[in-house]
Every structure is written in structure tokens, then in C-alpha cells.
């Protein structure tokens, strides 16, 4: 049974990796779009929609990364029915803000070039089609197949090589989007729009850039340690070290996401207060979802084990 759960968990993490790459690239698009020349010409309604879509993509990213951190913090890298169920459930939830934000993005760019009517219809159609392909079709197939397969709750003794494989897979879940976001962060610093930002926004963007840079380095470090220090051998020491590096990378990634939300939303809605509230709320939500909840679950498990 443990092999079955471990293999299914690896597949679920691979599917999460596919989803999160798209969400993180679109997150980077939102940041970059706020500094394009055409963005200043958008009516305030579309700029507000841009801020909403930006927050939606941040929510999708937060939900998609959360299972990996629960796997590291709560389960210690062990495969279990609980973490498999959590990974599946969070991926299901993440598709909701992804679909909404995706449709909003299409509406913004089409409205800019072809008018609000066409942009609204195409944006709404995109969201409806996403819901049909990502939810409705799956529910219909599930109803046709009947009762869902139950998953055991017990934590299985997962072999070390599989735990290391899952660790590296989870690092790959986080890092592509971080690298893409870093590229967008670097590019916008060369735009005229960045030069016109107030000093406070420039400073926060610089801090966010440093955070994403550190996150990328931390998330790349497990592969370097595995090759250089451990010569590709799987050991408990490497698994512990790699888990710590992934958790640390997620922490600074959250700071970078919150900082860039502040900069772009402040620019879009023309309100530093709104930008600060959105950035702070997103940062707190990410830390609660990624760290506070897993730590609480781990403490509860430890108390039950006594």
C-alpha cells in the first residue's frame, strides 16, 4: 500500500508542478504589465480588475505550494493518505482563483485593444470554459464512475529514495515560477515606469527582488548539495538538509510575492493604503497557509502520539 500511496503522491506533485508554473508565469505577467506604457492608458475599472486578477493568481500559488510544505513540516517527507488527499484538495481549490484570474487577464488585454464589450464577453467565456474543463467535466465523469476511491489515513514508511525524489519534485514545484518572477522583476527595473515610482515603492521592489533571488538560490541548493556533497547518494542527512532549504526558500518567496503585490497594486489603483493592505493580507495569508497551519497540525499530531 505504501508504494501505491507514494507513487500517487509523486504523480499529484507532478500535476501540481504543471499548474503552478502557469500560475507563477501569469503572476509575473501582472507585475510586468503594471509597468508597460499601455497600462497607464487603461481606465480605472480595468486597473482595478488587474489588481483583482493579481490577487487571484497569488491565491492560486499559495494553495498549490501549501501541500508541499505540509508534506515537509507535518509528515516529515513520509507519504500518507492524508497528504495525498490534501494535495488533491488544494489543487482543486487552486483552479478556482486561477480560472477567475485567467478570464480577467483576457478581458483586460482584449478590452484595451478591441473595446469593453468584446473584452468582457471573451473574458467571461474564458472563465466559463475553464470551469467547464476543470470542474464540470470532471464532476460528470466522477458521477458516472460512482463512489470515489477511499484513501488510507495512516502514514506509511516511505523508502528513503522515494522521499528524496519527492523532496526534489517539491523543489521543482516552487522554483520555475520563482525564476520566471525574478526575470520579470529584473526587467521592470529598466523601464521608464519604474523610474517614476516613489522611493518607497522602489525600495520595496528591491527588497522583493532580493527575497526572490534568495528563494531561487535556496531552492536550487538541494540539487547542488545532492550532486557535490553527497555524490548523488540518498541519505537521511541530505533529506533533512534539503527539507530545511525548501522550507526556508518558501518563506522568503512569500515575502517577495507580498512585496511585489504591494508595488503593482499601489501603481494600479493609485493608492498606497490599498496596496499595503493587499500586500500585507497576502503575506499573512501565505505564512498562515504555508507555516502556521502545518506547524499546528504537527503539534497536534505530536500531542496525540504522547
pLDDT in tens, the chain (306 residues): 445 777 788 888 888 888 888 888 888 888 888 898 888 889 999 999 999 999 999 999 999 999 999 999 999 888 888 888 999 899 999 999 999 999 999 999 999 999 999 999 999 999 999 999 999 988 888 788 765 555 555 556 778 888 898 898 888 888 877 887 888 899 899 888 898 899 999 999 999 999 999 999 999 999 999 999 998 899 999 999 999 999 999 999 999 999 999 999 999 999 999 999 999 999 999 999 999 999 999 999 888 876
Of 128, 149, 174, nearest to 21 by C-alpha is 174
Model pTM score = 0.89
Q: How many domains does the chain have?
A: 1
Whole-angstrom distance, CA of residue 257 vs CA of residue 259: 5
Distance in Å from the first CA to the final CA of the chain? 26
Of 224, 43, 230, nearest to 120 by C-alpha is 43
Q: Which domain range does residue 222 map to?
A: 2-305
Whole-angstrom distance, CA of residue 43 vs CA of residue 23: 25
136 membership: H or E segment, kind and range: none
CA angle centred on 36, ends 118 and 127, rounded to 5°: 35
DSSP string across 71-117: HHHTSTT--BHHHHHHHHHHHHHHHHHHHHHHHHHHHHHHHHHH-HH
- Sequence-ordered list of residues with C-beta below 8 angstroms from that of 56, at least 6 positions apart, any chain: 97, 98, 100, 101, 104
Amino acid at each position: 500500500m505504501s508504494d501505491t500511496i507514494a507513487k500517487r503522491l509523486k504523480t499529484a506533485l507532478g500535476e501540481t508542478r504543471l499548474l503552478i508554473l502557469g500560475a507563477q508565469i501569469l503572476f509575473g505577467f501582472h507585475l510586468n504589465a503594471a509597468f508597460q506604457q499601455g497600462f497607464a492608458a487603461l481606465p480605472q475599472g480595468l486597473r482595478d480588475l488587474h489588481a483583482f486578477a493579481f490577487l487571484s493568481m497569488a491565491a492560486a500559488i499559495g494553495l498549490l505550494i501549501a501541500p508541499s510544505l505540509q508534506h515537509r513540516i507535518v509528515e516529515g517527507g513520509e507519504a500518507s493518505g492524508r497528504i495525498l488527499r490534501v494535495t488533491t484538495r488544494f489543487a482543486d481549490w487552486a483552479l478556482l482563483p486561477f480560472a477567475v484570474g485567467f478570464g480577467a487577464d483576457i478581458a483586460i488585454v482584449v478590452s484595451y485593444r478591441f473595446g469593453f464589450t468584446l473584452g468582457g464577453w471573451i473574458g467571461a467565456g474564458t472563465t466559463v470554459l475553464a470551469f467547464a474543463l476543470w470542474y464540470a467535466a470532471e464532476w460528470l465523469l466522477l458521477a458516472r464512475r460512482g463512489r470515489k476511491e477511499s484513501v488510507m489515513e495512516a502514514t506509511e514508511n516511505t523508502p528513503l529514495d522515494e522521499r528524496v525524489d519527492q523532496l526534489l519534485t517539491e523543489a521543482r514545484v516552487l522554483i520555475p515560477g520563482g525564476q520566471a518572477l525574478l526575470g520579470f522583476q529584473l526587467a521592470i527595473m529598466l523601464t521608464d515606469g519604474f523610474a517614476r515610482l516613489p522611493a518607497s515603492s522602489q525600495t520595496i521592489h528591491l527588497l522583493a527582488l532580493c527575497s526572490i533571488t534568495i528563494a531561487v538560490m535556496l531552492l536550487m541548493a538541494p540539487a547542488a548539495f545532492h550532486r557535490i556533497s553527497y555524490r548523488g547518494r540518498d541519505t537521511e542527512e541530505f533529506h533533512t538538509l534539503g527539507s530545511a532549504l525548501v522550507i526556508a526558500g518558501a518563506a522568503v518567496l512569500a515575502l517577495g510575492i507580498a512585496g511585489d503585490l504591494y508595488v503593482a497594486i499601489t501603481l494600479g489603483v493609485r493608492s498606497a493604503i490599498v496596496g499595503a493592505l493587499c500586500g500585507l493580507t497576502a503575506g499573512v495569508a501565505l505564512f498562515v497557509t504555508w507555516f502556521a497551519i502545518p506547524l499546528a497540525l504537527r503539534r497536534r499530531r505530536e500531542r496525540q502520539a504522547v
